[in-house]
Amino acid sequence: MSALMCVVAVGVCFYVLVYYGVFRRASCSSTVRLTGKTAIVTGSNTGIGKATALELAKRGARVILACRNKERAEAAAFDIRSESGSNQVVFMHCDLGSLKSVRSFAETFLKTEPRLDILINNAGVLGPGHTEEGFGLAFGVNHLGHFLLTNLLLERLTQCGPSRVVTVAALLHRCGNLDFPLLASTKDLVSTQSTWANLKAYCNSKLCNVLFSRELANRLEGTSVSCYCLHPGVIYTELCRSLSPWLQLAIKPFAKLLFLDPEGGSQTTLYCSLQEGLQPLSGRYFSSCALQAVGARGRDDALAKKLWEVSERLTGL
């Protein structure tokens, strides 16, 4: 019995150390109000995007839910309006897997909304498939769609400055790599659609997010627009819905024990969106509501510039 108790004690200690040392995240303590401000949150019908949109609405912002699925996004808007007490929460259709849809969203937004103060590039996918234009799904949605959206809205962001662009990346950017010859020949950064390749594609797309923020900051220098990227924490959200059933089953026990809920996962996004005094850190990477170092590839200015130029060609900018 004593041996069993020792095993249990070690297990509990390990769980506490892992949870509080790796998975638990800090909270955004900013008290900034957003009355009169407008924010866009992509992928905000569920998960950390919805939690982020809810908090922005509670602070008085007009919040645009930029989502692909109309039914689910309208249901989310209803929930957020009910919980926040704000009627300034609206859905606008935006499918990041279609560059045509991104352009249509931007055109509609610019015609109907006079302000844009915060753009949160939150939406993300992990899994097989291709975008409408034939790009690998993770690269096309997680990077190219947000790249185009941000560029189409930059002028409005500049007009309403000081404003911010916040892009949800991931710690897994450290495992990413960019193979431009492969991208040129296959319209993707991986060569197959296996489970491993899908995870690798996700890591590659998150490296793109980090490099995009770095180059964007360089191009915005001297303007009133700042940008940040972040790791939200380890969260079990609908991002995992496209994983194979057996892999979802394997992850679920760890998710229930260790992973953050969507509210916890939204804290660093909110920090980058709201915290005062971050402007000198434009282009940098955050986690746990604090500045963090990025992987070596994420600090490569030449790589960031090349990705930007390739992305301009691919999106027709």
pTM of the full predicted structure? Answer: 0.87
pLDDT digits (tens, 9 = 90+) for 201-248: 999 999 999 999 999 999 999 999 999 999 998 765 545 555 556 555
Two tokens, residue 32: 């900034």
* Highest mean predicted confidence (pLDDT) among 127-131, 234-238, 262-266: 127-131
Two tokens, residue 147: 């790249």
Phi, psi at 42, each rounded to 5°: -80, 150
Q: Which domains does the chain have, with CATH numbers?
A: 32-315 (3.40.50.720)
Q: How far, in Å, CA of 136 to CA of 130, rounded?
A: 5
Which residues does the annotation mark as catalytic? 202
| pLDDT band per the 50, 70, 90 thresholds, residue 11 | very low
pLDDT at 25: 57
Q: DSSP H helical segments within 160-300, as ranges?
A: 180-186, 195-220, 245-258, 262-265, 267-274
